[in-house]
Amino acid sequence: MLTMINAKGYAAQTSTTNLAPWNFERREVGPADVQFDILYCGVCHSDLHQIKNEWFPGIFPMVPGHEIVGKVVKVGKDVTKFRAGDLAAVGCLVDSCRTCDNCKEGLEQYCLNGSVQTYNGLSKDGTPTYGGYSNTIVVHQDFVLTVSKKLSLPAVAPLLCAGITTYSPLRYWKVGKGHKLAVLGLGGLGHMAVKFGVAFGAEVTVLSTSAPKEEAAKKLGAHKFVLTSDPKQIKDAKRSFDFILDTVSAPHDLKLYLSLLKTNGTHIMVGISPEPSPVHAFDLMGGRKSLAASGIGGLPETQEMLDYCAEHNIASDIEMIDIKNIHQAYDRMLKGDVRYRFVIDMATL
């Protein structure tokens, strides 16, 4: 007999209703599953895009949240990596085929047969997935990450999305010593990009629409700051960067930012605006520039990033919130008023 686990969380019932308390069921712990109680969950701008159907029609009711950390309460009989009482984490993925070329390379986020997202996705049995704005979660051990006790646990949560999404492209393009890296947008992803860029040895410039973030950018380790609304500062930054890591969540003028790249420079998009931003061939041609994009990260690289952070004492700068204030947090996130990631204290659920 299949029993289910009673769970509670915050869900949007439709794309036009606010999140509110909701009871639902999770599958019982299977032989290879890990169940952990969620202690903290980061608030990603993707949560807001998805509950509002800004990218594509979502699956409702929707329990968002894919920056999840907690404590293991139960493991299946085949689980070797975890025991009850261990810290554990889950990011944006909870399953993939494991057999395609991309999965075999540890690029589960690009699974050729479709990976399963932590929420707003469908499990292989066709049931919807529900995310981390909830009290407990059951996930196959292959998609559960190990967390070091060295770092503050709430500040680790955002690493599961904001961390890996910025770490992965910086590693792929081997950004480091001798490179001039611009981080476009200083929010959740942007502040992690600054920390990693600095740790990897690049000269890091923040490109921001928010003048008051200059001091904070420098505190995060950025070497320079460019206020993008100031034509003089933009003029001085022309043709100066090897890489731009673009974390902007809204439509923006790519022509302007591409003009800041050096010859052979690369503009890497990780922000996902609801509407596309047009690019003309000329914007790339004048200097053989590349426009690229990168999605989250695979499981091996996510573990590598968590271990790197523990070793180098890197975590997110967070503001802890009560889950009841989630909509105030979203409103502030939309205004760019977050330093630099909201994290829900799940004890408030």
Contacting residues toward ligand NAP, per CB under 6 A: 44-46, 49, 161-162, 165, 185-190, 208-210, 213, 247-250, 252, 270-272, 295-296, 333, 336, 338
Nearest to ligand NAP of 82, 119 (CB atom):
119
Residue 166 interacts with which of ligand NAP, Zn ion, none, CB < 5 to 8 Å by class: none
> 266 Cβ partners below 8 Å, 6+ apart?
173, 242, 243, 244, 289, 290, 291, 292
Nearest to ligand NAP of 161, 258 (CB atom):
161
List residues near Zn ion by CB under 5 A. Answer: 44, 46, 96-97, 100, 103, 111, 113, 161
Nearest to ligand NAP of 35, 208 (CB atom):
208
Min CB(295)–Zn ion separation in Å: 10
Residue 250 interacts with which of ligand NAP, Zn ion, none, CB < 5 to 8 Å by class: ligand NAP
Min CB(118)–Zn ion separation in Å: 9
Residue 141 interacts with which of ligand NAP, Zn ion, none, CB < 5 to 8 Å by class: none
Q: What does DSSP assign to residue 81?
A: S
Nearest to ligand NAP of 135, 168 (CB atom):
168
Min CB(180)–ligand NAP separation in Å: 18
Residue 270 interacts with which of Zn ion, ligand NAP, none, CB < 5 to 8 Å by class: ligand NAP
Nearest of 272, 197, 294 to residue 45 by alpha carbon: 272
Distance CA 100, CA 1 (A): 33
Min CB(215)–ligand NAP separation in Å: 13
C-alpha distances in angstroms, 73 versus 117, 136, 137, 343? 22, 9, 10, 22
Min CB(295)–ligand NAP separation in Å: 4
Residue 7 interacts with which of ligand NAP, Zn ion, none, CB < 5 to 8 Å by class: none
Distance CA 22, CA 63 (A): 9
Min CB(44)–ligand NAP separation in Å: 5
Q: Which position's Cβ is nearest ligand NAP?
A: 187
Q: Residue 196 CB: number of other CB atoms within 10 A?
A: 28
Min CB(271)–ligand NAP separation in Å: 4
How buried is 165 (Cβ within 10 angstroms: 0-12 exposed, 13-18 middle, 19+ buried)?
buried
C-alpha distances in angstroms, 259 versus 193, 207, 212, 277? 21, 13, 24, 15
∠ CA 161-60-4, rounded to 5°? 85
Nearest to Zn ion of 59, 100 (CB atom):
100
Min CB(138)–ligand NAP separation in Å: 23
How buried is 77 (Cβ within 10 angstroms: 0-12 exposed, 13-18 middle, 19+ buried)?
exposed
Distance CA 253, CA 309 (A): 33
Q: Is the dihedral of CA 268, 200, 318, 338 positive or negative?
A: negative
Query: Do 129 and 121 form a contact (C-beta atoms < 8 A)?
Result: yes
Query: Do 338 and 318 form a contact (C-beta atoms < 8 A)?
Result: no
Distance CA 314, CA 321 (A): 21
Nearest to ligand NAP of 9, 271 (CB atom):
271
Residue 96 interacts with which of ligand NAP, Zn ion, none, CB < 5 to 8 Å by class: Zn ion
Nearest to Zn ion of 17, 113 (CB atom):
113
Residue 305 interacts with which of Zn ion, ligand NAP, none, CB < 5 to 8 Å by class: none
Nearest to Zn ion of 157, 314 (CB atom):
157
Residue 100 interacts with which of ligand NAP, Zn ion, none, CB < 5 to 8 Å by class: Zn ion
